[in-house]
Structure 1
Amino acid sequence: MGRTEYYYDPDAPKANTLIPASNLLVVNADGAILMQRRRDTGQWALPGGAQEIGESPAECAARECEEETGVRAEVTGFLGVYSNPAHIIAYSDGEIRQQYEAVYIGRPIGGAPAANDEASDVRWVRPDELDELDIHASMREQIGHYLSGAYPYVG
């Protein structure tokens, strides 16, 4: 499914859905952050996705992490809630979604980074390497709050 992101774009279409989603910012013992390169946008991102009926937001974050990266992780903390009406994601099926993400902090407990249907690359990224990657501004905000210790965030 195609996807176009709008961020503070006055020409963005009007949202028609708000879907609860969760991300997991996984940090290894060396302080590197688990990142995936999304196949749909080509940008680097934290693992995450839509919550399913019957799971908690934290369970969603852990499930999405393993599905998208091959890394099993446990939730160790809460980074914040991110829902910005100026961040719109339009899908080719007509869904136009306002961002809504509960973002958790975690640590790896098994598995290994591996590319898959959703991610063309998965790897551990040191904080000093982040500027070398194409990362959407909303994801950079989340990572920045973690690195600066400015959490929990509610926005």
Structure 2
Amino acid sequence: MITRWLTINIITILVIVLWSLYQGYDSSYILMGKIIAQAAFILFLININMYFVFLLIRKSKIRNVKVKLAKISKKMMRYHIPIAITATLLIIAHAALMISTRFVNLWNTKTVSGAAAIGILIILLFSVLLRRWKASGKRRKFHFTMAFVFLGFVILHVFI
């Protein structure tokens, strides 16, 4: 199960990188923006995998697997917020670079989908604040739901 999920992650990253290369770029700024976005995507994917680690802990019937995954999740949680902050800063850098280039039309579907993804990211970051103020099952579910909605918008943005 774990190897299958890692394989899906690696294939997802490869498809996005190859798609980006296939689309090409008009300037070195656009290339830099794409590379920054890909780094942010990888960091975000690392963070979203936390959900699947916890899911495997809940669903596994083998105690040794649960213990091993619990140890992994404990280490991963230490880095969850720093990874999220780094990914967010990279996304902001990507957006700033792409908007600042004279090649980007602010009203095309790619830019609009990126703006929508940033709007969802703001809601996702707000869900983090809600969890910090008072943790509850409802807020936890809202947080991971927004993470998956954000992932969907990012995938849409990449492939438009």
TM-score calculated relative to the size of structure 2: 0.23
Point out the structure with the larger helix share.
2
Task: Compare CA radii of gyration and give the structure with the larger one.
Answer: 2
**Greater relative CO (CA pairs within 8 A, separation 6+):** 1
